[in-house]
Amino acid sequence: MGKYETAKLSNLGIVGQGDAGKTSLTEAILYNTGMTDRLGRVDDGTSTMDFEPEEIKRHITISSSLNHCEWKDHSLHIVDTPGSTNFLHDTRNCMRILGGSVLVVSAVDGVKAQTFKIWQWAEDFEVPRIVFINKMDRDRADFLKAVDDVEKSLSTRAIPVSMPVGSGDDFKGIIDLVDMKARFFKFDDKGTYDETDIPAEYLAEAERLRFMMVEAAAEADDELMEKYLEEETLSREEILRGLREGTLTKVFTPVLCGSATANIGVRNLLNYIVNCLPSPVDKGTQYGQDPKTKEDVLRQPDPAEPFSAMVFKTISDPYAGKLTLFRVYSGTVKSDSVVYNPNKETTERIGQIFELEGKKQHPVPQAEAGDIVAVAKLKETATGDTLCDGGKPIIYESPLALKPMISFALEAKSKGDEEKIMSSLARLMEEDPTYHVERGAETKEMILSGMGQVHVEVAVEKLKRKFGVEVLLKEPKVPYRETIKKTVKQHYRHKKQSGGRGQFADVHIEIAPLPRGEGYQFVDKVVGGVVPRQFIPAVDKGIHEALPHGILAGYPIQDIQVTLYDGSHHSVDSSEMAFKIAGSMALKRGMEAANPILLEPVMQMEVTIPDDCVGDVIGDMNQRRGKVLGVEPQGKNQVVAVQVPMSEVLKYAPELRSMTSDRGLFTMEFSHYEEVPPHLTSKILAEHSQAAS
């Protein structure tokens, strides 16, 4: 926007697992910096950042939201991100454009599997971090245990720069380990405190932690290390310099503490945000690719450079239209200008540029390197696209969309709403590319896939609220397949005479099973012209058209080879249609004799869980007919690799949440098809017969 030079800007993400207090911390930051005149609260629906009705209803962040503030001559663009497993894909998209982040960890719960995933994404996108141990005023809060958890689970050197005075009901404030002062808070929501000397009972622990901090700060800078070795001390400014260097180079991670809802330790955190986390200048050169030559292209975080930006989020609204959010990496863009989208090879007109303040939009005349802004009604641009100067094009690499993990069938409440539902879902997918919609080829169901059950339920709620269409959620039908277990030969003669030209086709085929995943193969072994060459493709076509309708329960047939080896024809009555029918009927009759079986889809899953849940999860997977392929450690968690039939894990997300007290997560994708056990085949066929009657 131009008010602050790029070196004084910071793109800051508030990240962490669900229920750690990220939004409460963001609200406290906005209140302390004067952006809001009251301390917004998630539980009573007064939060500035969680404003969607679905968020207010559930008391969780569903969609990342933006705001900005100023602190000590620095401008902070703040992105409050989701922590629930169902919505972590949004956090990942935001991570791509962040300069730095504050990882919020609950002093009660410590590090969960979601935290590890977020930490890994920060590593992937080279985002420096500060850790804020929140909820020190809650029962069972344990600062040192949480710090140890961060260090062991996330494989980082965690360096406290503040420590709590008490915990739970006895939590009174914090000790600043740089200034070696205690701050006793008045619990008035305003963050006011009295600063005193450190009480005697906390002094030894404070000195121990301070020694660790000073040593870490010295090690981050060669010049500071030399001085520290000589004098065994560093000045306040030198400690802060070392903390900044260590954070930016990710040699260690500073750890602070407090309570977001009580507004304790938040101003101290702000001081370290502006001191330790990077500006766009600190992040330096951005690397992209020339869309035509595919050669590397560089951009500097300078307003004078050619304009370039990345779109990291799209908000779709039936009344306001589409809102496109992007982070400017280089150059300057002004309202009412034209930019180039190299991903779509088209130009877009930029209308009014907005700075977002929760759900409010504040118009600004321009955006410069480092700014995060929004524009309305771009026609072609989608999440992940690059916007740039058409004369100096560049494409930035964007994160691939995560694969959906759960699916539901949708049924319109009102007949005739199907078209409206599909168009509304398309709008939702603009906003959230991890939704996937398809119409089942054999089931004819409308299938909506998402990252979890709550993710899909939120889509249904948005369909009603935003687009006025109501749908019912049903468990989707499992896409079973049919195949055979033995090789058979089948003869079929199609003959029809009804006056005039008749129909005649005679075929001999052999049907043989193929290995799993081979699909369908047609082999022509006709010799001597017994079936004329022009009719052989018709036999193949007839068989191909019969494959979607198996003989057991009408499921598609796969993994078979059909060989046409003999037949006969009539010089007048034979036709392509006759041979097509003969091929189709020969397959159906041959399938009946070839020991047909059902195949079920098997999913490849990775379940990340705490050590104490491994036995329960493996036992549960065995009951689901799963095959455990291995268990690997990941910090204090374990990753269980397993293959399991789809029918057994259609509702796995809530069941895993219950088993692990919401400390686990999983990924899932299709692996292969396997034979359904005979006792289950009978049950499936009986259910299919009942449903069809």
Contact in structure between 404 and 453 (CB atoms under 8 Å): no
CA-based nearest residue to 326, from 518, 97, 111: 97
| Euclidean distance between CA atoms 111 and 100, whole angstroms | 19
Contact in structure between 339 and 391 (CB atoms under 8 Å): no
CA-based nearest residue to 246, from 257, 259, 234: 234
Element containing residue 567 per DSSP (H, E): strand 560-568
Q: CATH code at 426?
A: 3.30.70.870
Question: How many domains, the chain?
Answer: 5
- Tell me, yes or no, whether 143 and 194 share the same domain: yes
Q: In what order do the strands lie in the sheet with 520-524?
A: 488-496, 503-513, 560-568, 520-524
Contact in structure between 373 and 323 (CB atoms under 8 Å): no
Q: What is the mean pLDDT of residues 155-160?
A: 96
Q: What is the mean pLDDT of residues 307-334?
A: 90
| Euclidean distance between CA atoms 442 and 472, whole angstroms | 20
pLDDT of residue 380: 93
| Euclidean distance between CA atoms 242 and 254, whole angstroms | 11
| For residue 506, pLDDT beyond 90 | yes
Q: Which of 154-163, 534-543, 653-662 has the lowest mean pLDDT?
A: 653-662
* Backbone torsions φ then ψ of 504, nearest 5 degrees: -145, 130
Q: CATH code at 350?
A: 2.40.30.10
Portion of the chain with pLDDT greater than 90, in percent: 68
Domain housing 159: 6-283
- Tell me, yes or no, whether 532 and 647 share the same domain: no
| Euclidean distance between CA atoms 494 and 546, whole angstroms | 16
Instruction: Give tens-digit pLDDT for 126-153.
Output: 999 999 999 999 999 999 999 999 999 8
Domain closes at, from 424, 448, 474: 474
| Euclidean distance between CA atoms 363 and 355, whole angstroms | 6
What is the rounded end-to-end Cα distance, in angstroms, of the chain? 66
- Count other Cβ atoms within 10 Å, centred on residue 549: 15
Within-domain flag for 151: yes
| For residue 534, pLDDT beyond 70 | yes
CB-side neighbour CA atoms (13 Å) of 428: 27
pLDDT of residue 498: 67
pLDDT of residue 46: 86
Q: Which tokens sit at 552?
A: 């057991």
Within-domain flag for 289: no
Within-domain flag for 527: yes
CA-based nearest residue to 561, from 662, 460, 483: 483
- Tell me, yes or no, whether 580 and 604 share the same domain: no
- Tell me, yes or no, whether 271 and 180 share the same domain: yes
pLDDT of residue 171: 96
| Euclidean distance between CA atoms 135 and 412, whole angstroms | 44
pLDDT of residue 439: 79
Domain closes at, from 567, 594, 621: 594
| CA 261 from centre of chain | 28
Distances (CA, A) of 160 to 120, 156, 176, 213, 255: 21, 12, 10, 7, 4
Portion of the chain with pLDDT greater than 70, in percent: 98
CB-side neighbour CA atoms (13 Å) of 412: 13
Angle between helices 236-248 and 266-276 (to 10 degrees): 70
Q: What is the mean pLDDT of residues 475-486?
A: 89
| Euclidean distance between CA atoms 243 and 225, whole angstroms | 13
pLDDT of residue 442: 59
| Euclidean distance between CA atoms 310 and 383, whole angstroms | 8
- Tell me, yes or no, whether 346 and 461 share the same domain: no
Element containing residue 9 per DSSP (H, E): strand 9-15
Instruction: Give tens-digit pLDDT for 366-396.
Output: 999 999 999 999 999 999 999 999 999 999 9
| Euclidean distance between CA atoms 616 and 270, whole angstroms | 42
Within-domain flag for 480: no
DSSP state of 428: H
| For residue 2, pLDDT beyond 60 | no
- Tell me, yes or no, whether 320 and 446 share the same domain: no
| Euclidean distance between CA atoms 245 and 217, whole angstroms | 8
The residues that bridge with 666 in the sheet, in sequence order, are 607
- Tell me, yes or no, whether 557 and 495 share the same domain: yes
| For residue 318, pLDDT beyond 70 | no
Residue carrying the six token digits 């169902």: 86
Q: Is 97 exposed, middle or buried (0-12, 13-18, 19+ CB in 10 A)?
A: buried
> 21 in helix, strand or coil?
coil
pLDDT of residue 652: 87
Q: Which tokens sit at 192?
A: 């006011």
- Tell me, yes or no, whether 233 and 307 share the same domain: no
Q: Which tokens sit at 546?
A: 């019969």
Q: Which of 42-51, 68-77, 92-101 has the lowest mean pLDDT?
A: 42-51
Question: Which stretch, 34-43, 250-259, 629-638, 656-665, has highest mean pLDDT?
Answer: 250-259
CB-side neighbour CA atoms (13 Å) of 681: 16
- Tell me, yes or no, whether 455 and 520 share the same domain: no
DSSP per-residue letters across 283-299: H--EEEE-TTT--EEEE
* H-assigned helices in 432-525: 453-467
Domain closes at, from 345, 360, 388: 388
pLDDT of residue 112: 85
Instruction: Give tens-digit pLDDT for 405-454.
Output: 778 888 888 877 888 888 889 888 888 888 988 876 656 778 888 888 88
- Tell me, yes or no, whether 557 and 633 share the same domain: no
Return the beta strands (E) in 16-150 as ranges: 65-71, 74-80, 100-106, 129-134
Q: Is 231 exposed, middle or buried (0-12, 13-18, 19+ CB in 10 A)?
A: exposed
| For residue 319, pLDDT beyond 70 | no
DSSP state of 6: G
Residue carrying the six token digits 């420096």: 128
Q: CATH code at 257?
A: 3.40.50.300
Q: Three-state secondary structure along 632-653?
A: EEECCEEEEEEEEEHHHCCCHH
Within-domain flag for 398: no
pLDDT of residue 143: 98
Within-domain flag for 308: yes
Within-domain flag for 450: yes
pLDDT of residue 344: 95
| Euclidean distance between CA atoms 676 and 679, whole angstroms | 8
* Averaged pLDDT score across all residues of the chain: 91
Distances (CA, A) of 79 to 26, 601, 691: 9, 39, 49
Question: Which stretch, 81-90, 131-140, 643-652, has highest mean pLDDT?
Answer: 131-140
- Tell me, yes or no, whether 362 and 451 share the same domain: no
CA-based nearest residue to 326, from 257, 253, 387, 395: 387
Within-domain flag for 294: no
Considering only residues 427 and 589, tell me which one the structure prediction assigns the higher pLDDT. Answer: 589
- Tell me, yes or no, whether 190 and 250 share the same domain: yes
pLDDT of residue 3: 67
